[in-house]
Structure 1
Amino acid sequence: MAIASMTGFARMDGAIEDFSWTWELKSVNGRNLDIRCRVPASFESLEPIIRSAAGELLKRGNVNVSLSVDDHARTGSFRINEAALSQIEALMRDLAPRLNAAPPRLDGLLALRGVLEIEDAALAPEVAEQRLQALQQSLAAALQQLHEMRRIEGQRLSDLILGHLDEIERLRSAAAKIAVTQPELLRKRLTEQLSTLLATQVPLSEERLAQEVLLLVAKADIREELDRLAAHVAAARVLIASGGPVGRKLDFLCQEFNREANTLCSKASELALTNIGIDLKAAIEQLREQIQNIE
């Protein structure tokens, strides 16, 4: 399976004789799979079909599905709502003695809400079933188009993510090279500081100096952080290679990356190592931004 993005768009048109339709599907980032449907009246039965079909292909993202139809041959007929008209007539009779007003005009009565209705012409059951089947097939094609677009975008994101992982690995290797020189640098620095402080006094014994250096080295030791960074990079590469809906797992790894980078910066005793830690955090943030788009 390939990595898929959560963003995409699809449009599918169709027609049967004088009945035409258009499906439009839009997908953006989301924590879970949230499907919102907008269909014309009398097509509400399609909503559970839309949700089921979308759920089979998509695992995460906010998906908006809209259907517009145009039935050129089907024209409705006007009908008077007798019940509504009777209520209006009763109100007119009650109000007439109290008001000095001209009687209502016919066009005014027909303009009142609920008096004049449009009744759609009856549709043969076999025609309705044919249209429903065609709409479902068209929907399936639109969903497949959306899925393919998300996969294409996912491949582009995979390349970017792998590039960020390469950068994190490069910075980790640079930090490891500096870490090797840490004990000697700490010893030299401590010796210089003690020489200044104890210039007129008895110098610190070599054994005591070694103990102090050992304590400083233990506090500044970043080997565990570097090992965990390497493990996280390897885990992220495995997830990318395996494909599928791995966005949540990658997002969790980003949190672990940040934790190690923060610890590395707090332990850094050299400016060069601090700079690497800052660059590492920037690379991890760029990685996180791309992972937010992964399904």
Structure 2
Amino acid sequence: MPVYSMTGYASAQHSPAATPAGEGNRPPAGMRLGLEIRSVNSRFLDLSFRLSEELRAHEPALRELITGRIKRGKVEVRAGLEGSGAEVVREPTVRMLQRLGSVQDTVRGWLPDAPALSVAEILRLASTEDGGSVDWSEPLQQLARQVLGDLLAAREREGARLATMLQGHLQQLRSLAEQARPLVPQLVEQQRQRFLERWKEAMALSEGAATPEAAQDRALTEATAFAIRIDVAEELTRLAAHLEEIERLVNKGGEIGKRLDFLIQELHREANTLGSKSAAMELTRISVDMKVLIEQMREQVQNLE
């Protein structure tokens, strides 16, 4: 399965076959339906709609369509009717003008001081009448399916790019772990030799105050305690296991963002422990490099669905 990013954008317009204004339930000439969907990362699915007045009744159908295809992300849907120039002006029909005149006479019969309808108000009412009488269900659903498909394709392309970057970071982390693995035995042996040298110096100065066996045993005990304190084999083993699981999830694809986010936290914990046990500058450098890579991975993972 592909890996999907939560970041994407798609838009399209649709111009249905038109009829003269006021005839039937098809759109007037020049009217276009526009729709766009944009999404960014979010912990859960957060849908918001900005629909024109004529399209608000279709929000539940759009919501059902989108939730069936998208599981995570902050998704914003915008849709509206568009036109330009003289196409925006709807010529009112004779029947509509008669109805408006009758309603106006009735209102002014009860409210003599009420102002008469202006030309602008009549044209606005005519436009609302035309737009509101159109059945946009099927055109809107078709356009939404097209735009949603384009959005998912964009999210898939971005997801593939992020997956490639994650794979590269995994290889770098494995390389750093391999560099760290032989350092600990070297450090333990260096510390053991240092303790033995200190034991020999102490024996030369003590003039028999302590038995050689007791002093040597103490030196070896201190060396053993040091080896235990700086041993990072367990951290490196867990880190390798986390890297394998991350690689498996990335190759598997699907909805992996939340699980990867948890594994990134575990990686960061192991890298921190590696740094706290460091007894050499080289091991400290490796720990810092690991944490830089892990932080970059965290930013990438937070964009995955």
User: What is the TM-score when the length of structure 2 is the normalising length?
Assistant: 0.80
Tell me how many residue pairs correspond in the alignment: 273
Comparing both structures, which one devotes a greater share of its residues to strand? 1
CA distance in 1, matches of 2:55, 2:200: 87
Deviation at 1:66, TM superposition (A): 0.5
Task: Indicate the residue corresponding to 1:69 in structure 2.
Answer: 81
SS at 1:205 equivalent: helix
Instruction: After TM superposition, list the pairs within 5 Å mapping 1:205-216 onto structure 2.
Output: 205-216=215-226
Using the aligned pairs only, state the percent identity: 33
CA contact (8 A) 2:196 2:220 kept: no
Amino acid at match of 1:219: R
Q: Which residue among 238, 242, 254 is the counterpart of 1:244?
A: 254
Amino acid at match of 1:163: G
Instruction: Tell me how large the CA RMSD over aligned residues is.
Output: 3.0
Deviation at 1:211, TM superposition (A): 1.4
Deviations 1:60-115 (A, max 9, x none): 1111111121374855567559659966949xxxxxxxxxxxxxxx6xx868xx99
State whether structure 2 residue 146 is matched by structure 1 residue 141. Answer: yes
Gaps of 5+ in 2: 19-28
State whether structure 2 residue 40 is matched by structure 1 residue 28. Answer: yes
Deviates more, 1:281-290 or 1:115-124: 115-124
CA distance in 2, matches of 1:83, 1:192: 110
Deviation at 1:12, TM superposition (A): 1.2
Deviations 1:202-261 (A, max 9, x none): 566322222111111111110110000000000000110110111111111110011001
Task: Indicate the residue corresponding to 1:103 in structure 2.
Answer: none
Gaps of 5+ in 1: 91-105
SS at 1:121 equivalent: helix
Deviates more, 1:210-219 or 1:186-195: 186-195
SS at 1:118 equivalent: helix
Deviation at 1:23, TM superposition (A): 0.9
CA distance in 2, matches of 1:55, 1:200: 80
State whether structure 2 residue 13 is matched by structure 1 residue 13. Answer: yes
User: What is the TM-score when the length of structure 1 is the normalising length?
Assistant: 0.82
CA distance in 1, matches of 2:109, 2:293: 72
SS at 1:42 equivalent: helix
CA distance in 2, matches of 1:115, 1:70: 20
Task: Indicate the residue corresponding to 1:286 in structure 2.
Answer: 296
CA distance in 2, matches of 1:124, 1:54: 24
Deviations 1:241-286 (A, max 9, x none): 1101111111111100110011111111111111111111111111
CA distance in 2, matches of 1:161, 1:179: 28
SS at 1:5 equivalent: coil
CA contact (8 A) 1:74 1:121 kept: no
